[in-house]
């Protein structure tokens, strides 16, 4: 074979390999995720805890849905903006039996959930993953039976396609309650010492999903828990405040949790050869908003929240109490000016601001927008 022909052959082979890699990664365009499966707590719960226990009451939902929507918020959550960005419908809660549509994914998140068992909710991450595995098995069986019997039904339009589980995006927003529950029932030193076990449990969940065919992972780290009005109000020491008025020691534990989470995700990326894992620095995005609150149109005082009140104790959103002739618990007139909706959860306006800053890849590692998450490189 001549030298020129050999060179041409090598060039063609290299081009073929590059084209194959580009195609496998989703090319230069969007990934076109057909579905999203979400795991988390109240920060991304779209109705799970309401379906399982007591329904979330008004005025939750008043800004966008004009009624309670199962979300601990006046409107949309970040997971809703994720769906909008990917041009998918809002995710139905897995636990909700009415009006659900699982054609483009499902939401296993429930309010109060933690990564490890024994927190505020029985639906910890291990249970959520077990629910997904059962969901996947039953969907696959139902879909195959409907097709094998040549039966068509409107119900088939509301269930996932078995071949799309490996093409879907798997999102996580969980971990805040592991720390919060620890603060309420143990010392700060014990909370810090529990982090390795929490991270191990999270790692096991990701590996379980990988065995089930999950390949694309979008993982939020935990936010600055010391900046929640609830945390600030119950930690009154002025010596434990940062420049924004947040509880510095609690934020430091959040940062340590996030350091260990990111380290483990890097290891998982090397261990799971087909996985594409993107880590989202939610802490930095939320803290940036808190730091720039006034210039972004929000009230500067980090203790201020819109729904519910604090009168020596926390009056929950949706409840009213009269103290010395004053009614507490009514929502504020303009939720869009508040970062915090109810002292624990963010307002829709804050969620939108954060979503606009994380979904474009600005806080992602590797730095890819969510609609190109399938193009994340494999870890060496």
Q: E strand or H helix at 249, and its extent?
A: helix 248-271
Location of structure tokens 């109060």: 112
Tokens for 141?
């069986």
Residues marked as catalytic: 42, 342, 345
Residue 37 — very low, low, confident or very high, per pLDDT cuts 50/70/90? very high
Print burial letters for 168-204: b (CB count within 10 Å at least 16), e (below 16).
Answer: bbbbbbbbbbbbbbbbeeeeeeebbebbeebbebbbe
Residue 24 confidence (pLDDT)? 36
**All domains of the chain in start order, with CATH:** 32-292+349-365 (3.40.50)
Residue 28 — very low, low, confident or very high, per pLDDT cuts 50/70/90? low
Does 16 score more than 70 pLDDT? no
- Look at 67-76, 231-240, 340-349 and tell me which has the smallest mean pLDDT: 231-240
309 - beta bridge partners?
Answer: 315
Looking at residues 360-371, what average pLDDT do you find? Answer: 97
Q: Is 81 helix (H, G, I), strand (E, B) or coil?
A: helix
Quickly list H helices, 26-113: 48-52, 78-85
Looking at residues 44-62, what average pLDDT do you find? Answer: 96
**Tens of pLDDT, residues 115-163:** 999 999 999 999 999 999 999 999 999 988 887 766 556 667 889 999 9
């Amino acid at each position: 074979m001549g030298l020129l022909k050999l060179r041409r052959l090598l060039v063609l082979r290299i081009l073929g390999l590059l084209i194959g890699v580009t195609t496998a990664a989703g090319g230069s365009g969007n990934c076109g995720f057909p579905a999203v499966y979400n795991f988390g707590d109240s920060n991304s719960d779209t109705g799970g805890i309401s379906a399982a226990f007591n329904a979330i009451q008004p005025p939750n939902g008043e800004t966008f849905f004009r009624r309670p929507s199962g979300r601990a918020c006046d409107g949309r959550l970040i997971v809703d903006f994720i769906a909008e960005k990917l041009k998918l419908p809002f995710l139905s809660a897995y636990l909700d039996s009415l009006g659900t549509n699982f054609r483009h994914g499902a939401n296993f998140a429930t309010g109060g959930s933690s990564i490890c068992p024994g927190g505020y909710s029985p639906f910890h991450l291990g249970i959520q993953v077990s629910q997904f595995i059962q969901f996947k098995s039953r969907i696959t069986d139902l879909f195959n039976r409907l097709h094998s019997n040549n039966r068509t039904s409107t119900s088939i339009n509301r269930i996932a396609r078995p071949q799309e589980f490996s093409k879907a995006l798997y999102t996580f927003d969980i971990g805040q309650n592991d720390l919060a529950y620890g603060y309420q029932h143990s010392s700060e030193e014990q909370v810090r010492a529990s982090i390795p076990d929490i991270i191990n449990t999270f790692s096991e969940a990701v590996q379980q999903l990988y065995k089930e065919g999950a390949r694309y992972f979008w993982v939020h780290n935990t936010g600055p828990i010391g900046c929640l009005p609830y945390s600030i109000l119950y930690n009154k020491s002025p010596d434990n405040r940062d420049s924004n008025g947040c509880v510095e020691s609690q934020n430091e534990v959040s940062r340590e949790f996030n350091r260990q989470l990111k380290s483990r995700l890097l290891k998982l990326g090397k261990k799971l050869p087909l996985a594409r894992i993107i880590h989202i620095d939610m802490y930095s995005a939320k803290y940036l908003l808190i730091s720039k609150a006034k210039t972004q149109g929000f009230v500067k005082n980090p203790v201020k929240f819109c729904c519910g009140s604090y009168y020596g104790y926390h009056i929950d959103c949706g409840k009213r109490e009269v103290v010395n002739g004053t009614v507490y618990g009514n929502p504020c007139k303009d939720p869009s000016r508040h970062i915090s909706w109810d002292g624990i959860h963010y307002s829709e306006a804050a969620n939108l601001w954060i979503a606009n800053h994380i979904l474009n890849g600005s806080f992602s590692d590797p730095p890819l927008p969510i609609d190109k998450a399938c193009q994340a490189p494999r870890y060496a």
